[in-house]
Amino acid sequence: MINQRILAHFQESAELKMAAASVLAQPIAAAVELMFSALSNGNKILCCGNGGSAADSQHFAAELVGRFERERLPLPAMALTTDTSIITAIGNDYSYNEIFSKQVQAFGQAGDVLLAFSTSGNSANVLAAIDAALDREMRVVAMTGKGGGAIGKKLTEADVHICVPHDRTARIQEVHLLTIHCICDGIDVALFGGDVHD
């Protein structure tokens, strides 16, 4: 019984990734281009999300500040999910919905990129962060699922929406993880040329 459930998870995940590839290749490439342009111009990437998406934010920032698959200079990226003093102070004194937007207001500058994760597309604090980013003339790369929700409706034509065509949170997060790796690889190749696997 449990073996069949495990096999079903693997099969559904693999099928979604193959089905999503043709749908998401173009927006992922657009995200790479947007982030490459920002980093080349001395700007940075701020990341946010809740729960598993918070982990994705930290994962992405770690890959850029540390390394992905090659030795290179650190790249400026920061997860807004990690400073518990800031998060709890804002959550306590203002609202949990402002835990990311106030950090975007503090650290974000015109030309920076906000990488916003929300599997539902409806996370109130991520929506507030997007509003703050757009107010500061930042660009947004949003990773969602379930049709994109309110986030999909909020983005401008200058932003990038990577919406996984699925309704199951676990499957959406699995594609988000693969997408993170695609973006990291694309940034490395765009900034430094070649491929570690060539």
pTM, full prediction: 0.95
CA distance to 46, 74, 109, per residue, from 49 (Å): 11, 22, 19
Residue 189's identity, in one-letter code, is V
Largest CA distance in the chain: 54
pLDDT at 196: 56
Helix, strand or coil for residue 79? strand
Kindly indicate the confidence band of residue 48, based on its pLDDT and cuts at 50, 70 and 90: very high
∠ at Cα 175 (134, 8), nearest 5°? 150
Domains for the chain: give ranges and CATH numbers: 2-192 (3.40.50.10490)
Q: Does pLDDT of 197 surpass 70?
A: no
Q: What is the pLDDT of residues 119-174, one digit of tens each?
A: 999 999 999 999 999 999 999 999 999 999 999 999 999 999 999 999 999 999 99
Q: pLDDT tens digits for 74-119?
A: 999 999 999 999 999 999 999 999 999 999 999 999 999 999 999 9
Positions at the binding site for substrate: 50-52, 63, 92-93, 118-120, 123, 173
Main-chain dihedrals φ then ψ at residue 41, nearest 5 degrees: -95, 15
Known binding-site residues equal 50-52, 59, 63, 92-93, 118-120, 123, 173, 181
The mean pLDDT of 21-50, rounded to a whole number, is 98
Instruction: List the binding residues for Zn(2+).
Output: 59, 63, 173, 181
